[in-house]
Amino acid sequence: MSCRVLAFAAAITISPMAWANWTYGERVQEMSGKPETWAELRSASSLNLRAPYDGPNFATLNIRRSASRLIVWIEIEKGQFVCSVSGCQIEVRFDDKPPSRFNVQGPADYNSRILVLLDGKRFVTEASKTNATIRVAATMHREGAPVMMFESSVPLYLGKPK
């Protein structure tokens, strides 16, 4: 019996690189009927937050691009970013470059798990040159500004909008 359990556990083990690259896709926007490309990158490690947000808690970098718009946002599974719809700033560090500040704001629906970058184009430009790590520090309720680390063995590539 223990041999089967060990074999099963080995079968579901996921190497760190399985989570470490951008995921891409394309879809058609329902309202406009136009194509939209997207890219996502899940954080390399879980945030270590206090109750009630303790336990596994990953962040995701999200990018949506169409011919007419580019939207970049960060989303956490649990917890609360401290930022208003009128805006605040986060720090982002690409590879070993010095950290830079990005203006962000909360989404229109006031979801406190999401921050929308106001200069998505600059973020995408930098992420397209990044070969390893993107670090993001954002203020969270009762947590200070923990660093979310995103790792990819290849830079972001969105291609040209259609």
pTM for the full predicted model: 0.82
Asked if 151 and 135 count as a contact pair (C-beta separation under 8 A), the reply is no
pLDDT of residue 15: 34
Task: Give the Cα separation of 23 and 2 in Å (integer).
Answer: 36
- pLDDT of amino acid 159: 73
Domains along the chain with CATH numbers: 2-151 (2.60.40)
pLDDT tens readout for residues 84-119 = 778 899 999 999 999 999 999 999 899 999 999 999
pLDDT tens figures, 127-141 = 999 888 999 999 999
